[in-house]
Amino acid sequence: MEKPLVSIVIPLYNGSNYVAQAIDCALAQTYPNIEVIVVNDGSSDHGAGRDICLSYGDKIRYFEKENGGCSSALNFGIKEAKGAFISWLSHDDLYDPNKVETQIGYYEKYDLNPRTTLVSNPGRLINENADPIYRPNRVKRQRLDSREMFAYILFGIGFHGCGLLIPKAFFEMGLSFREDMRFVLDWNLWQKIAISGAQVYVDQTIIFSNRIHSQQVTVIQADRHTPELTASCEEIFELLKSHPDPELMRLLYYYCVATGQVLHKNIKAYMKSTGIAIKPLKKLRYTLKKRSLKLAKKAYHAIRRIRHKR
């Protein structure tokens, strides 16, 4: 059986210190049918990243564009991609050699639909020097339908973009990353993919490394998180007004209540006007679940800070 082409898309911005490692691990994949696309998003590094990428010759497909952010670079790379699947690799992260082969194998092993099902795996944390950072792996193997996927994004661990393998069919139907977002661009898109009727197979096998360092957008532009989160919830609310499954609207309402989003008042008024009942026990359960997850994250980061000082 012919192996489907997988497009590994690497958005690059001022990442000359890491991008060679990312390209090398992409080219080292044990899966035989890949293309590696690097999109230089207007880096201001005096051509350092460009020179590294061009040194790979025709082993990769290299593009340059004006700076527009990670979403813009990803959308550009996905439009150029020829593969049936998209695999996102940040310029500072690393794939295990079997990342793509493992995930493609799930489709045959578990009879997954290659147009409507994503696969997701967790990653390990590493620092600037690729040394491991301890993090408990709480991912369990499971298959989620679109409603379960939506709830998992809002109240569960969620998905890391570099741990996903995504059918390009979702992008061909018009879905894309919001280019005004820098912080929750992935969270926003995964919700829209779930709303479109997607399913996801989640496996607990760790197959990539997520690098934590001081120059990440999530560090230097952390102030964007709250307003982008609000904007994303507002967009999802509008999308769900025409969705036939009222449970998704309830889930968004429970999430906004649990996280203190003022939008929950508008959602509640809309639900009342359209006859979508609020289920108090579910509301309480999801609120407690979200808040307990938040406390667990705070405890984990507190432990990390203590260990770092030693």
Q: What is the CATH number of the domain that holds 63?
A: 3.90.550.10
In a domain, 228, yes or no: no
With beta carbons less than 8 A apart as the criterion, state whether 96 and 103 touch: no
Over residues 19-61, the pLDDT tens digits come to: 999 999 999 999 999 999 999 999 999 999 999 999 999 999 9
In a domain, 227, yes or no: no
In this prediction, residue 221 carries a pLDDT of 63
Q: 245-273 burial, b if ≥16 CB within 10 A, otherwise e?
A: eeebbbbbbbbbbbbebebbeebeeebee
Q: Are residues 16 and 91 in the same domain?
A: yes
Q: Whose CA is closest to 205, among 143, 122, 100?
A: 122
Among 159, 185, 220, give the residue marking a domain's end. 220
Q: Whose CA is closest to 97, among 159, 187, 186, 8?
A: 8
Amino acid at 182: R
Q: Please tell me the total count of domains within the chain.
A: 2
Q: Are residues 101 and 144 in the same domain?
A: yes
Over residues 132-163, the pLDDT tens digits come to: 988 788 899 999 999 999 999 999 888 999 99
In this prediction, residue 299 carries a pLDDT of 60
In this prediction, residue 157 carries a pLDDT of 83
In a domain, 234, yes or no: no
In this prediction, residue 237 carries a pLDDT of 98
Q: Are residues 144 and 281 in the same domain?
A: no
Q: 41-54 burial, b if ≥16 CB within 10 A, otherwise e?
A: bbbebeeebbebbe
With beta carbons less than 8 A apart as the criterion, state whether 115 and 197 touch: no
d(CA 189, CA 206): 23
Residue 234 token pair: 């507002």
Q: Whose CA is closest to 290, among 265, 194, 118, 298?
A: 298
Q: Are residues 49 and 16 in the same domain?
A: yes
d(CA 279, CA 276): 9
In a domain, 230, yes or no: no
d(CA 167, CA 175): 12
In this prediction, residue 291 carries a pLDDT of 81
- Residue recorded with tokens 């661990």: 157
How many Cβ atoms from other residues are within 10 Å of residue 144's Cβ? 21
In this prediction, residue 309 carries a pLDDT of 53
Residues of the chain with pLDDT under 70: 1, 215-221, 296-310
Sign of CA dihedral 41, 179, 150, 198: negative
Task: Find the domain containing 158 and state its range.
Answer: 6-220
- Residue recorded with tokens 């593969």: 83
Q: Are residues 56 and 91 in the same domain?
A: yes
Q: Are residues 216 and 245 in the same domain?
A: no
